[in-house]
Structure 1
Amino acid sequence: MKTESQTPSRLEMNLAFPDLLVKTHHGNVHLRSLIQNKRVIIVTNPSEMIPIAEENRKELVQSLKKIKKLNFHLIGFNRNTFDEHLRAINWINSYLTDDLVFPVFYQPKNDVKTCLERDLGKEITLRNPVYFLDKTGCTRVVLEGFRATNDTLDRIVEQASRLVLSEQPLQLGQSLRDN
């Protein structure tokens, strides 16, 4: 009996996220200046987040609200075609309320993966990675991105919650409820 090799759906690391040059409507900006002192989730190919069914759209909005409550900022890097990038931007800007809109940058080369692999010393085999960055700009966890049959948004919210809890200082004799 032959078994298929499984790619990991989660990768833990503590590497500085690459300081890429991104194009914004204010001009070219280094990413580090945008994410400084913020918890950030970077989604690869956010156009795949766009739901087809109405109930899934409501789930997306609820998940984005939970991410916002956890004080995470969401950023997207589209690697697909520029047309798909524009479609994603238009959908995000027209469907989401202003407080939930997040920046999406077009990056066809996937420089993030290349830089992290160089520093990590091994290949990241995840198809559409989702990067979780702490306030220092370090990549803490990388999750497998969007697939047609998974609950990626729930996993993103769950991982964000874990990272927030792991940052909480617990003193001897003190419970989580006291913090």
Structure 2
Amino acid sequence: ATDAQGNYLLRTVRPIGYYIPLDGPVGGMVQAQQRHGMRPAHIHFLISAPGYRELTTALYIAGDEHLEDDVVFGASGDLVAEIKPRDPACPIPGLPSVHFNFSLSRESAADKLSGRVGADPGQITAGDVKAERPYGSPPAEISAEAETKKGGILAGLFRGR
């Protein structure tokens, strides 16, 4: 949550870099390119506010040895944050801190009409919208049209129905 000025406080552990799994097809591609498979240290964020599009991003820690050669090319200079060891502006005295301003885009009319759930997974199961038909089944008008047009290569599959 934020205060009235949009300020937020988050307390977490200092992240470390890690290897991506190298045992599947992606690992095969990484090894074929003779790359190391390391991700730089980063913290994931999913940020939302009413009337705005959600933002999924990560902050990368300045000084990590793999910022320049992130195996998934995710580290961007705009997303690199400096850890300040003893920041007098930190609301928790004595702890290292990071200052970073996130910007959210306003939700568009198309976003509102699309039915996107966004960053609120509770909306998926809210139950305020009933399914018009079972998941995966075509709309009634398409089903009715298909019943009258059962010719062609696959016509044999529909005979006798």
Q: TM over 0.5, yes or no?
A: no
Between Structure 1 and Structure 2, the one with more helix by share is 1
Larger Rg belongs to: 2
- Normalised by the length of structure 1, the TM-score is 0.28
- Normalised by the length of structure 2, the TM-score is 0.30
Which structure has more relative contact order (CA 8 Å, sep 6+)? It is: 1
